Structure 1
Amino acid sequence: MIYLIGFMGSGKSTVASKLAQKLQCSYIEMDESIEKQEGLTIPEMFTQQGEDYFRKKEREFLRNTKGEAVVSTGGGVILSPENREILRRGTAVYLHADWETIVDRLKNDTSRPLWSGDEAEKKQRFEDRLPLYKETAHHVVVVDDKAPAVIAEEIAARLKS
């Protein structure tokens, strides 16, 4: 299992689909899978059930995912020590984007519950998660100013070596 991890807006979903094509394996979008299973969108889960409920669903998803696939994870999946352990059983690839890249990519995004609100809070969340991404990752790929196809190619090359 290949897990793409990184902050929201780092390109995990886009890169995961391209990487799966390149590796000729299946692609799983974690958030979409949880939404389908729960019959609720992520924002609805956060509003109706709370963030803890959603994080529990992430853990269940990781525990139950089997086979060979490229998995695009949610940005907060690394918050749980159990999740980090599961991710490390596969191959975790951290897509690192600079803060400025994240802000630029998400400036008009209103669909992410943890992107709304105070700029300082968002930046603090980003900085708090950085060490967890790095601790979890087998590979770190910088994604700033790179096309998704180029990033997928770089990951594929690293996986072969």
Structure 2
Amino acid sequence: MEQEKAPRIFVIGFMGSDRKGLARAEAEKRGYRALDLDELIEKKDGRTIQRICMMMGEHEYRNQEYEMLCQLQEEEGIVVSCGDGVFLDDMSREILEKNKVLVADSQALPEELWERAKEQKGLPYAFMSQSDNSIKKKKFFALYEQRKPLYNQFISRP
């Protein structure tokens, strides 16, 4: 069976999912280039995503995601791992919907994602920098429940 041709593939997934790993594997399978949206933004801006969010707010980060997605629309043969909330911006979501989207670890239980995410450094969410793990965990699960329906929209797409 011949694999589906798509000039651009975007990989999304919640905190703790292996978006980069899925993007690399998919790119290798297809002979495409693997890119990371956050790394592209950081290179262009000169600041980390965490610093952008701290200094300018999440809205600025979402603006930069959209600008970079617009630039990537000109590229072909790419698989791009994206931040966990890229679809929160309507204009960014429109770009994603015009392309193939894969959801990393879509079958993973939230507890699995939490175990991976709780030790990650540099996450742009202020609550993930708290020292109280119980508060951090509660906020993580609340955000997961809030975003799960949005991820499900991409899972159910043909």
- Structure 1 counterpart SS, 2:97: helix
> In the TM superposition, what is the alpha-carbon distance from 1:25 to its structure 2 partner?
0.8
2:139 pairs with one of 121, 127, 149? 121
Partner of 1:143: none
Question: How many residues end up aligned between the 2 structures?
Answer: 140
Relative to the length of structure 2, the TM-score reads 0.82
Cα distance between partner residues in 2 of 1:28 and 1:81: 22
For residues 138 and 61 of structure 1, the distance between their equivalents in structure 2, rounded to whole angstroms, comes to: 26
In the other structure, the counterpart of 1:109 is 120
Aligned counterparts, 1:3-152, within 5 A: 3-65=10-72, 66-95=75-104, 96=106, 97-114=108-125, 115-117=128-130, 118=135, 119-137=137-155
> Which runs of 5 or more residues in structure 2 are unaligned?
1-7
**Structure 1 residue 136: deviation in Å?**
3.1
Matched residues in 1 for 2:64 and 2:95: separation?
14
CA contact (8 A) 1:78 1:136 kept: no
Where 1:2 maps in the other structure, the secondary structure is strand
* CA displacement 1:102-148 (0-9 Å, x = unmatched): 111122223112233432222111111111112134669xxxxxxxx
1:93–1:137 contact (8 Å) kept in structure 2: yes
5+ unaligned residues in a row in structure 1: which ranges? Answer: 141-161
TM-score (norm 1): 0.80
| Identity across the alignment (%) | 33
Cα pair 1:5 1:75 within 8 Å, conserved: yes
Alpha-carbon distance change, 90 to 24 in structure 1, aligned in 2, over 3 angstroms: same
Q: Give the RMSD, CA atoms, in angstroms.
A: 1.7
Contact persistence 2:114–2:140 (CA under 8 A): no
